[in-house]
Structure 1
């Protein structure tokens, strides 16, 4: 069972993702509502995958992604955001994101993407 950390400033989105992921065989090992908490939780929980929003207070998802990638170059982070501008997508991928999903997300697409990322072998 793959361990997932959910990062989003919306409690509703975190709860929705948690229900969706548990229903589809993932283990949710933590949640964070901003980038700073995401970094702390990543270190504590050592998840297999992180779902990360981009626009959050305190520390953005892209800034948190960069810090997580410095801590663990093998981190598997999937950005899930309503911000689908090409510049932000490109910035997230350059920072180390393994995939990018747009909100509102499709349950089947989220599950399929996370399953593929979970199986991905990362070479640093």
Structure 2
């Protein structure tokens, strides 16, 4: 019998990217969450009844201040958080407008080359998403 603790928490996010305003090279946005002191892709739990893609776009806006144009769906990442299974669906998404303002959840963002983003990410599982963006998505 499945219990609520066995049911995966549903979340969604994006590997947010843009072309550098300086040289046109690909840059990936990472967010710093002071609560966990970590660097990750913008993501968060889905609201009740919310579609995953809608939640992913909402989380990008809330955490980074950017609106985005979602593209290819990337891998779903599964892991345990606070003793509970968690499933996070990701999309590649281009930042199209906006700007960052620090908030309680995210105090900093960085726009980095894919290699630098891989190095900065706290969780190794998030690095594969950068590789997937670069290799599999038409960015």
- Normalised to the residue count of structure 1, the TM-score between the two structures is 0.32
The TM-score, its normalising length taken from structure 2, stands at: 0.30
Q: Kindly indicate which of the two structures has a greater share of residues assigned to strand.
A: 2
Q: Which has the higher contact order (CA 8 A, sep 6+)?
A: 2
